Amino acid sequence: MTSVPIPIPSRTQYVLEAIRHRILTGLLTPGQALVEAELAAHFGVSKTPVREALKTLAGTGLVVMSQYKGATVRTVDADMAREVYDVRLLLEPEALRRTVRSGARLDAARDALTRAGDAADTAERSLANRDFHRALYLPCGNPLLGRMLDEVRDQAALVSAVSWAASPSWEREAGEHREILRLALAGDADGAVGALRTHIASFVERAYPETRSTEGQE
């Protein structure tokens, strides 16, 4: 039986998802070089889908492209974490408010919370954490708002994975997740939003205490 060649767009998507998963699970570490030829050989494809996948990942913030150094996995530092979490603080609470007020089902959030609790390592837990937050904001009723949050969710997952590897605090975050979901399921939009704001702000402040806000200090 003759095999049918996989179209380049499908190969690109396959490589894209594979590299993303390897970054978010720590198999590819921050700062690691992503060599097109090596990745192409590993995945059994030409360099074209690898190149396109890396360009897309650069657009989502997981990969850095340099004219001289080529592609590398993005390094997580305090500035990067603060940028990502500032965007989340601006957008995610409002998305959650709309989700709760719409009465949307949150089965996916409950499932993600269970997966996070059953996770074998911080990488799996970070992926489940990413899915939990997406399940809360995606039903907000504004597709553009959902897409904007999707653009930073991979970077947020990378921040959490790196932070937990250095200083595990996932049990605290898991408790906060349970409280956010409890309030959301109870229809308490204001309570859920307040808990989410505290959750997002406190995580980056604990992970990167040197970035604590100095607002109001003159």
Q: What digits encode the pLDDT tens for the residues 5-63?
A: 445 558 899 999 899 888 887 889 889 999 999 999 999 999 999 999 999 999 888 99
For residue 104 the two structure tokens come to 């949307």
| 8 Å CB contact between 49 and 12 | yes
Q: Where do we find the tokens 């709309």?
A: 98
pTM above 0.85, yes or no: no
Instruction: Indicate the burial class of 143 (C-beta count within 10 angstroms; 0-12, 13-18, 19 or more).
Output: exposed
Would you say residue 118 has pLDDT above 70? Answer: yes
